Amino acid sequence: KSQPSIRRVLQLCRDNDLHVRSSLVIGNGVNNRNIGELPDFVRSIIGEYGDIIRSWGNFIQIVLPGSPVFGRFQQQAEQNGWTEVVGLYRKFNEVGYFTWTEQSRLNELFIRHTQNVDYDALVAARDQAEKIVAESPDTTGVTIEHGGVLK
């Protein structure tokens, strides 16, 4: 079954006087070609539908402890000898949690090792998308790092 496009969904919301909160998770499936399209995509959607989008989150994928991705990445790290990743998992297994700095580093290493993308370009595109949303008169930008206050 095909899925409706984001524009179709947002137009239906507008037609029915509905307002939405939206988030964009950047990570799995990203590559150097499509990461460059992210700011233009955000600019286009905010430009067309910013009046009905109350908040827009821009998030880099989090490798959540307990998720299938978390377990698979640990196996990949051990098989490939990715010592920093293995060390993060060892620390997690010893104490049962990550600090935010450790979690962020694991997220970064996941993208660097498993996605075909320049991580620094990914962060720059995320930051640019965050700035585009912040400049919107109607939409509040939300990130883990900077939070967000509804307008």
> What is the mean pLDDT, run by run of 10 residues, along the chain of 151 residues?
81 96 89 90 95 92 94 97 98 96 96 92 93 91 69 53
- Give bridge partners of residue 25 from the DSSP assignment: 59
Q: Name the pTM for this structure.
A: 0.84
Angle at 126 between CA 124 and CA 127, to 5 degrees: 65
Give the whole-angstrom CA distance, residue 100 versus residue 108. 12
Give residue 116's pLDDT: 82
Give the whole-angstrom CA distance, residue 148 versus residue 150. 7
Give residue 27's pLDDT: 87
Give residue 1's pLDDT: 60
Q: Could you give the C-alpha distances from 28 to 24, 52, 69, 79, 97, in angstroms and in order?
A: 12, 27, 10, 20, 23
- Give bridge partners of residue 144 from the DSSP assignment: none
Give residue 68's pLDDT: 95
Give residue 21's pLDDT: 93
